[in-house]
Amino acid sequence: MSLTKKPSTGMKDILPEEMRIRDYCISMIEKTYESFGFSHIETPCVEHIENLCSNQGGENEKLIFKVLKRGDKLNLEEAKCENDLVDSGLRYDLTLPLARYYSNNQAVLPAPFKALQMGNVWRAERPQKGRFRQFMQCDIDILGEPGNLAETELILATTTLLSKLDFKNFRVKINERKILKAMTEYAGFEADKTDAVFIILDKMDKIGVDGVKEDLIANGFSADAVEKYMGLFDEIKSLNDPTNIKALDYLNEKLSGIIEEGVIDNLKEIFVSVNTAKTAECELVFDPTLVRGMGYYTGTIYEVEMAELNCSVAGGGRYDKMIGKFTGNDTPACGFSIGFERIITIMLENGFKIPGENEKIAFLYEKGMDSERVGKIIKEASALRNEGKIVLVAKMNKNKKFQKETLMSQGYTEFKDFYVEELKN
């Protein structure tokens, strides 16, 4: 077989320039989230196939990279389906592995447990521009905290981080799965079909209100229910409140008797705490159209939207029923994931300059220098390196001018030349 230069289909090599921005981001993420008391942890990239295929991952389960069994020779003749050949796969997100991790290590972890994860995940999506089959995810989760202190801290930590990365004018949209459920019930959708309704409602930003209406009706839902549901949006809009806090009181009344007691008050408390504590230039907004795809959410859901770019850069929610599938005991859980790759893309497009980058100095020495003198030059470099400066020691090229220009394009701003002759004096 001949060798292949390109990376594996849909994956990418990361060049030094992008890597510097990624490393800067990673260090800001660590510093910021750790200051909020989150502990950095890691799970293996490879996960049991039975965990990956346990209906916690929605559409992503179709995209799993499966890993061939090792050890005994594979029995290809008797294998009837893919899963006879595999016992593991690459993780498609960090949430399911976290639930496994927590159930495995609960006894030695603090309660509540605040986890920070940064790691690659893999999805075998059709390769397309800007979408990769391996990409970094970066999640914070609070496990074991039933109250809205979890949501408040997650939102504040995420917005503080984004603001430190120079993001401004973003909005945190928040909603509640229980409000969505109550709204569908109020409108007259069958209670056992809410999941199907949510999947269609989730397309709102892609196909618009009219598209969603058509889609719902095409899927056999009653036109009356559809009209009544969408009517709520018009009524909320007419309240003319940009952050939609008024809509919460409106819905509390409208859904009274249907919605679980305290759900809307809980959301209002999050607004008060976040708005009192927040330092980032951002706005918290109640968005009744927000659904978020994953089936595992049980309560609050939220997303960070960049107003100027009209895209989401972070999202999360409460999923109180996932850990119980491992342990048998439900554990409150709430997470916020930033779109690491999208953030990097935006920073690269904006020509983000890393603040306080180290000084870069190049020591160039003439060819033919004896090895003791080379050692002394490197020793001189070491002293500067020890002060935190970046010092490249290299042989001088014939075309020194071109060499220096190239080094300047790599950020070297200072040069020191060493000639064989100097030594003789």
Q: Under rule CB under 8 A, which residues in 211-250 are in contact with its own copies? A: none
Q: Which is nearer to its own copies, 237 or 395 (CB)?
A: 395
Identity of residue 404? K
- DSSP string covering 165-221: TT--SEEEEEEEHHHHHHHHHHHT--GGGHHHHHHHHTTHHHHHHHHHHHHHHHTT-
Measured CA to CA, the distance from residue 411 to residue 402 in angstroms comes to 14
333 — phi, psi (to 5°)? -150, 140
Tell which positions 44-63 bind its own copies, by CB under 8 A. 44-48, 50-51, 53-54
411 — phi, psi (to 5°)? 100, 5
Q: Which is nearer to its own copies, 16 or 220 (CB)?
A: 16
CB of 34 vs its own copies, minimal distance in Å: 6
Measured CA to CA, the distance from residue 5 to residue 124 in angstroms comes to 20
* Residue position matching structure tokens 């940064």: 118
CB of 310 vs its own copies, minimal distance in Å: 29
Residue positions counted in the chain: 425
Tell which positions 269-308 bind its own copies, by CB under 8 A. 269-270, 272-277, 279
Q: Interface mask (CB under 8 A) for its own copies, residues 96-135, using x and -? A: ----xx-xxx--xxx-x-x-----x-x-x--------xx-
Which residue in the set 25, 28, 29, 37 belongs to the binding site for its own copies (CB under 8 A)?
37
CB of 351 vs its own copies, minimal distance in Å: 18
CB of 303 vs its own copies, minimal distance in Å: 21
Contact status, residue 254 vs residue 248, Cβ threshold 8 Å: no
Note whether 67 binds its own copies by CB under 8 A: yes
Tell which positions 351-410 bind its own copies, by CB under 8 A. 358, 360, 370-372, 374-376, 378-379, 382, 385-386, 388-395, 406-407, 410
Measured CA to CA, the distance from residue 41 to residue 31 in angstroms comes to 14
CB of 237 vs its own copies, minimal distance in Å: 27
From 74-82, 329-337, 339-347, 416-424, give the range in contact with its own copies by CB under 8 A. 74-82
CB of 139 vs its own copies, minimal distance in Å: 14
134-143 and 414-418 as β-strands: parallel, antiparallel, unpaired?
A: unpaired
